[in-house]
Structure 1
Amino acid sequence: MNDTYQAIAVNEADKRVKIRLTRAGLALALAAFLLAPLDPGTGQTAPSATTQARDGSHDFDWEIGSWTTQLRYLPEPLTGSTRWIEYRGTSEVRAVLGGRANLVELSVEGAAGKIEGTSLRLYNPKARQWTLNFANVRSGILTPPVTGSFDAKGRGIFYGVDTVDDRTVLVRFVISDVTPNSARFEQAYSADGGATWETNWIAVDSRR
């Protein structure tokens, strides 16, 4: 077989591989990304909970209690929209399951209406990671969880996979600027495998 025929065969084989790429294949690719997520601050691979080899079961203890929440929300993510909506209200956080999990009750409102939801955080002692599971009362359905851990500096970084307008996207949730009386929460989406991110949810909590 000469070089021309070899090139044609390779191209045709490549086309067949691309055709066979399914949603399941994309999910596997995204899962591989989650195994070595990028640090949102440096763009480098973030250390995993297992390599950190630390017990993170008490990483949310600081949050137990009552908070005033200031929320900014981008309702049309990944469309180029810059329309943010502001809300204000409360977040109540309590320990459950003997402290091995915690439950957040969010209630905020603004000119656009009201958002009420709950987040269940569960710690996996074997993986040394947390999963964050959120549900809005309007849908009554848990969104796909984000999974991750806190680093040595007290910043929590969590990743997951979701859909936006039927597109599969990566989700990044970051908890930062944690003090005994305040914290910042940011959610961002990526539609290009983590190359770029768009923040769509910013909440700042102050202890009541």
Structure 2
Amino acid sequence: MRDGQHDFDFNIGVWHTHIKRILDPFASSSASVELNGTVTVRKVWDGKAELEEIEADGPKGHWEGLTLFLYNPSAHQWTQSFANSKVGTLSSNIGEFKDGRVVLIGQDNSVYDKTILVKAMWSNIKPDSHQYEESYSNDGGTTWVRSFTANLTRLKQ
């Protein structure tokens, strides 16, 4: 197996983010909210971890998020642990870099009355831009609906 310790190196730096969040991706309506902000990512533990801070503003005010990425060298996988300043709970996803993108999957019970699956994906990875998106599944992964998209452009290394 290849060593994936540097899979998230592309994410290190300061980024402008434009976020589009679907308010209820399981509803038939497509109401959404858009936010703009800054994402700051720094390397921890010589690249075996990264700490990401997100600050964005939109029609409902200021929002912040905090993400810890940890690399497990024996499993060759990454874990993403995320806390949302508005909800105050921690969710985790796990997965790996494959075919030019990172896909991490986990469970979340902070948004709906029941536990759903969450798929986090980084794609279109270039030196000065990339895309992050989340999709939700409430049927065990049979179908997925996009709930969140962030387009990031580099402000500085």
Query: Do the structures match in fold with TM over 0.5?
Result: yes
Matches within 5 A, 1:28-177: 53-143=1-91, 145-151=92-98, 153-163=99-109, 164-177=111-124
Equivalenced residues, count: 154
1:205 pairs with 143, 148, 152, which one? 152
Q: Residue 127 of structure 1 aligns to which amino acid in structure 2?
A: A
Higher relative contact order (CA 8 A, sep 6+): 2
Q: Which has the higher helix share?
A: 1
1:83-120 C-alpha deviation (Å, 9 max, x unpaired)? 11000010000011222100110001112212101100
Normalising by structure 2, we get a TM-score of 0.93
Q: Residue 112 of structure 1 aligns to which amino acid in structure 2?
A: K
Normalising by structure 1, we get a TM-score of 0.71
1:137-176 C-alpha deviation (Å, 9 max, x unpaired)? 2333312x1100001x320011111224222211111110
Residue 136 of structure 2 corresponds to 189
Q: Residue 77 of structure 2 aligns to which amino acid in structure 1?
A: Q
Q: Which has the higher strand share?
A: 2
Structure 1: 5+ residue stretches without partners: 1-52
CA distance in 2, matches of 1:92, 1:158: 20
Larger radius of gyration: 1
CA distance in 2, matches of 1:135, 1:69: 18
Aligned to 2:75, the other structure's residue is in SS state coil
Aligned to 2:50, the other structure's residue is in SS state strand
Identity of counterpart residues, as a percentage? 42
CA distance in 1, matches of 2:119, 2:143: 11
